[in-house]
């Protein structure tokens, strides 16, 4: 039994859920998301809530049961509220600018790094803070990880791109003997 999968999902009034040919579509005020359901999972839509149950008991079905319940919950949250990841740039001379839908990062390399926003993602820049916004949680997380990978925080001075809530453990540098 899946502990996550057993919980019902509350459906807000302004959200509609449709299951057609193993494609789950969730439509809300911020947009539409779809997910292919390739495993034996059943969705039972009731009065203001939806239950996710397995169709048959096979190996690993409880893992997919919980997975699809979590994916559906994230889709509902995305089309109603949206998701945001906040990144912080630390370092002398490190800058970020927004040119249209392209993020231009100056991170100490010989050239600026340009990252264009994929469809469904919006960037906002405030001084050394980058906000990545969108309705698809997976896409927001992947774009944020790609931005962070351009210059991960280093452990001696803490310079680089990090998540706003990320803690970087600092190492002690070399000590000179006297």
For residues 148-153, average pLDDT: 96
Q: Kind and range of the H or E element at 5?
A: helix 3-6
Give the whole-angstrom CA distance, residue 172 versus residue 10: 50
Structural domains of the chain sorted by starting position, each given as residue range(s) with its CATH number in brackets: 3-80 (3.90.930.12), 83-163 (3.90.930.12)
Which tokens is 167 given?
A: 């803690």
- Flag the least confident range among 64-73, 97-106, 120-129: 64-73
pLDDT band at 88 (very low <50, low <70, confident <90, very high): very high
Decide the pairing of beta strands 41-45 and 102-106.
Answer: unpaired
Give the whole-angstrom CA distance, residue 161 versus residue 158: 9
Give pLDDT, residue 56.
80
Give pLDDT, residue 64.
85
What does the longest C-alpha to C-alpha distance in the chain come to? 76
Give pLDDT, residue 123.
97
pLDDT band at 149 (very low <50, low <70, confident <90, very high): very high
Give pLDDT, residue 96.
96
Give the whole-angstrom CA distance, residue 10 versus residue 80: 12
Give pLDDT, residue 174.
83
The pTM of the full predicted model, rounded to 2 decimals, is 0.88
Q: Where are the beta strands (DSSP E) in 78-174?
A: 83-90, 95-99, 102-106, 113-116, 121-126, 129-134, 160-163
Query: What's the pLDDT tens digit per position in 118-130?
Result: 999 999 999 999 9
Res. 1: pLDDT tops 70 = no
Give the whole-angstrom CA distance, residue 112 versus residue 135: 28
Give the whole-angstrom CA distance, residue 107 versus residue 1: 48
For 42-71, b where at least 16 C-beta lie within 10 A, e where not — what string? ebeeeeeebebebeeeeeebbebbbbbbbb
Res. 2: pLDDT tops 70 = no
Contact criterion met (CB below 8 Å) for 80 and 135: no
Torsion angle in degrees (nearest 10) through CA of 103, 104, 109, 111: 130
Give pLDDT, residue 178.
65
């Amino acid at each position: 039994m899946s502990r996550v999968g057993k919980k019902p999902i509350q459906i807000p009034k302004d959200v509609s859920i449709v299951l057609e040919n193993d494609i789950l579509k969730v439509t809300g005020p911020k947009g539409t998301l779809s997910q292919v359901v390739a495993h034996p999972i059943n969705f039972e839509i009731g009065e203001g809530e939806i239950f996710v149950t397995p169709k048959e008991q096979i190996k690993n079905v409880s893992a997919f049961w919980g997975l699809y319940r979590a994916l559906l919950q994230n889709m509902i949250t995305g089309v109603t509220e949206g998701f945001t990841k906040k990144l912080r740039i630390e370092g002398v001379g490190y800058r970020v600018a927004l040119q249209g839908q392209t993020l231009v990062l100056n991170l100490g390399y010989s050239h600026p790094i340009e990252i264009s926003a994929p469809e469904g993602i919006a960037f906002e820049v405030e001084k050394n803070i980058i906000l990545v916004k969108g309705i698809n949680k997976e896409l927001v997380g992947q774009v944020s990880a790609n931005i962070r990978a351009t210059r991960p925080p280093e452990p001696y001075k803490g310079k680089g791109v990090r998540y706003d809530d990320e803690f970087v453990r600092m190492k002690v540098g070399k000590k000179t003997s006297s």
